């Protein structure tokens, strides 16, 4: 492993430091998963934590993604704040029942009496020779789940800041770490406020086109922006950081300025989060006679009460009212 100076922070070290600091700050925080303790993580992101905090707070588990997610849900209900590592995000579908039908909905089903503060860390992405079953970015599987937050950092400092925020958050959070970023470094920043879930950042100012991405794609967009500057095109680069919720205001403001937008997503084009970014941008830019918007259900679980359930879905009346209101503008 390459050496890093004390003034630099690697992505790998950022993950460990965030978990270490939150374990030290709150006795209710626990950390478990596949090879995270004795081996220190398959990507060497968590060495030494078991020795520091003991087997009751940092421990290895069998390879059962559903069991991991279920244990996280149960421990969160019991008052703990679990951090779970599912080694490869390709296998998160094995944990979907616990994450989607229990963890993400418990606050709603308990009539807002009990939140589920848990974090699932998982490695994603290609470019490092892991093949088709260990290189996917399955964000789109979870993008439409109310009650679930999705975080996807691109830099070491943001990885630390966002992971600390995720651990402190009262909601279940999926925290994706791109495998190609673990060895990247940058100058260490002082981590102060960590209330940044759902807030993107402008990685580069520009005026002619907006480039939007997350994780490894941000560095690619920054490099492309530098190349574009050589031919007189000023590109603004947005780092989403969180994919649920997205920073809609940042996207809309940038698109309103540049009037041109390209989204770069590592993942299948059909059903991906890139389409969500484009929809967000378009819905606020209806100039030149263009009117484009969406209707769908609200971002919350489906109610049980027949009256509430019937009011929850789009209907002929709600479609009529929406068209009448928007068309008149």
Please pick, among 17, 22, 85, 134, the residue that the annotation labels catalytic.
Answer: 134
Check pLDDT > 80 for residue 11: yes
Alpha helices for 150-196 (secondary structure H):
156-168
Residues 6+ apart with CB under 8 A from 38: 50, 60
Calculate the average pLDDT of the chain.
Answer: 91
Longest CA–CA separation in the chain, Å: 66
Residues 6+ apart with CB under 8 A from 82: 29, 30, 31, 32, 71, 72, 75, 76, 118, 119
Measured between alpha carbons, how far is residue 160 from residues 192, 228, 244 in Å?
11, 31, 18
Tokens representing residue 329 in the block:
């503008």
Taking a C-beta distance cutoff of 8 angstroms, is the pair 7, 58 a contact? no
pLDDT (0 to 100) of residue 318: 83
pLDDT (0 to 100) of residue 9: 96
d(Cα 227, Cα 229) in Å, to the nearest integer? Answer: 5
**Residue 127 confidence class, pLDDT cut points 50, 70, 90:** confident
Which contacts qualify for 18-21: CB closer than 8 Å, 24 or more apart?
A: 18/159, 18/160, 18/161, 18/163, 18/164, 18/167, 19/46, 19/49, 19/83, 19/163, 19/167, 20/49, 20/52, 21/164
Q: Which residue has the tokens 């943001």?
A: 158
Percent helix / strand / coil, the chain, rounded to 5: 40, 15, 45
Check pLDDT > 90 for residue 106: yes
Check pLDDT > 80 for residue 88: yes
Taking a C-beta distance cutoff of 8 angstroms, is the pair 69, 116 a contact? no
**All structural domains of the chain with their residue ranges:** 8-187, 201-283
- Can you list the positions of beta strands (E) in 160-282? 173-178, 185-187, 201-204, 209-213, 235-239, 242-244, 261-263
Domain 8-187 adopts which CATH fold?
Rossmann fold (3.40.50)
Domain 8-187 and domain 201-283, same fold? Reply is: yes
42-82: per-residue pLDDT in tens?
999 999 999 999 999 999 999 999 999 999 999 999 999 99
Check pLDDT > 80 for residue 138: yes
d(Cα 180, Cα 155) in Å, to the nearest integer? Answer: 11
d(Cα 123, Cα 121) in Å, to the nearest integer? Answer: 7
d(Cα 138, Cα 125) in Å, to the nearest integer? Answer: 9
pLDDT (0 to 100) of residue 325: 82
Taking a C-beta distance cutoff of 8 angstroms, is the pair 203, 170 a contact? no
d(Cα 201, Cα 204) in Å, to the nearest integer? Answer: 9
Residues 6+ apart with CB under 8 A from 127: 135, 179, 180, 216
Residues 6+ apart with CB under 8 A from 132: none
The structure's pTM equals: 0.92
pLDDT (0 to 100) of residue 287: 58
Please pick, among 22, 34, 65, 266, the residue that the annotation labels catalytic.
Answer: 65
Tell me which of 323 and 23 has the higher pLDDT: 23
Q: What is the CATH number of domain 201-283?
A: 3.40.50.920
Q: Which residue has the tokens 């998963």?
A: 33
233-263: per-residue pLDDT in tens?
999 999 999 999 999 999 999 999 998 999 9
Q: What is residue 84's three-state secondary structure? A: strand
pLDDT (0 to 100) of residue 85: 97
Q: What percent of the chain has pLDDT over 90?
A: 76
Query: Is 134 assigned a catalytic role?
Result: yes
Taking a C-beta distance cutoff of 8 angstroms, is the pair 147, 237 a contact? no
Taking a C-beta distance cutoff of 8 angstroms, is the pair 25, 53 a contact? no
**Residue 2 confidence class, pLDDT cut points 50, 70, 90:** low
> Among residues 291, 301, 278, which one has the least CA distance to residue 322?
291
pLDDT (0 to 100) of residue 322: 83
Check pLDDT > 60 for residue 272: yes
């Amino acid at each position: 492993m390459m050496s890093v100076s004390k003034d630099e922070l690697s992505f790998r070290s950022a993950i460990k430091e965030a978990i270490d600091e939150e374990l030290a700050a709150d006795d209710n925080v626990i950390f478990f998963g596949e090879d995270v303790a004795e081996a220190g993580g398959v990507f060497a992101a968590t060495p030494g934590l078991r020795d520091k905090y003991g087997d009751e707070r940092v421990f290895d588990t069998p390879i059962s993604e559903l069991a991991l997610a279920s244990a996280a849900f149960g421990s969160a209900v019991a008052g703990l704040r679990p951090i779970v590592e599912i080694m490869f995000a390709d296998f998160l579908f094995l944990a979907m029942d616990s994450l989607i039908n229990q963890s993400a909905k418990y606050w709603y089903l308990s009539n807002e009496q009990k939140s589920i503060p848990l974090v699932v860390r998982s490695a994603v992405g290609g470019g490092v020779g892991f093949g088709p079953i260990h290189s996917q970015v399955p964000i789109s599987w979870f993008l439409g789940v109310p009650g679930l937050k999705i975080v996807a950092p691109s830099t070491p400092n943001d990885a630390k800041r966002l992971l600390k925020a995720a651990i402190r958050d009262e909601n279940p959070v999926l925290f994706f770490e791109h495998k190609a970023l673990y060895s990247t470094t940058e100058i260490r920043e002082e981590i102060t406020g960590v209330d940044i879930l759902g807030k993107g950042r402008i990685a580069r100012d520009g005026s002619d086109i907006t480039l939007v991405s997350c994780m490894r794609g941000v560095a690619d967009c920054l490099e492309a922006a530098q190349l574009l500057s050589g031919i007189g095109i000023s590109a603004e680069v947005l780092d989403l950081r969180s994919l649920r919720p997205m920073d809609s205001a940042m996207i809309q403001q940038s698109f309103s300025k540049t009037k041109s937008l390209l989204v770069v997503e590592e993942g299948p084009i059909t059903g991906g989060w890139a389409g969500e970014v484009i929809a967000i941008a378009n819905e606020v830019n209806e100039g030149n006679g263009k009117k484009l918007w969406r209707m769908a259900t609200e971002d919350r679980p489906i109610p049980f009460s027949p009256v509430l359930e019937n009011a929850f879905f789009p209907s002929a009346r709600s479609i009529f009212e929406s068209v009448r209101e928007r068309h008149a503008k």
